[in-house]
């Protein structure tokens, strides 16, 4: 049986597959940077009430499977994640 989430006005089950690539696909995501990026992304998701189902990184890209309230919007969540990860 599927587990649906809800808020005051909707019932939803929205999952998004997000891929970030480094500029010019440079191979920059070593294990130290990968671990720090995962921590930052997880903390932003926890603050915003989003769920990260999976996270994987390669040397030149980063995959996430994210569940977020459609009224909050995936674009706002990604903006927060990219903004916080660029600062740190």
Tell me if residue 83 falls in helix, strand or coil: helix
**Residue 40: in which H helix or E strand, if any?**
helix 31-48
The reply to whether 7 falls in a domain is no
pLDDT per residue as tens digits for the range 14-64: 899 999 998 899 998 999 999 999 999 999 999 999 999 999 999 999 999
The reply to whether 53 falls in a domain is yes
Hey, how many other C-beta atoms are within 10 angstroms of the C-beta on 39?
Answer: 12
The reply to whether 4 falls in a domain is no
The reply to whether 66 falls in a domain is yes
pLDDT band at residue 1, thresholds of 50, 70 and 90? low
**The CATH number of the domain where 76 resides is what?**
3.30.70.1290
Number of domains present in the structure of the chain: 1
- Identify which has the larger pLDDT, 19 or 12: 19
Greatest distance between any 2 Cα atoms in the chain: 44
């Amino acid at each position: 049986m599927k587990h649906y989430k809800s808020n005051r006005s909707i019932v939803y089950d929205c999952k998004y597959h997000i891929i970030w690539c480094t500029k010019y696909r440079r191979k920059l995501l070593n294990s130290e940077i990968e671990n720090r990026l995962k921590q930052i992304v997880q903390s932003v998701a926890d603050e915003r009430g989003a769920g990260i189902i999976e996270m994987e990184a390669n040397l030149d890209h980063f995959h996430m499977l994210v569940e977020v309230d459609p009224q909050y919007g995936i674009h706002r969540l990604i903006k927060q994640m990219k903004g916080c990860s660029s600062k740190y």
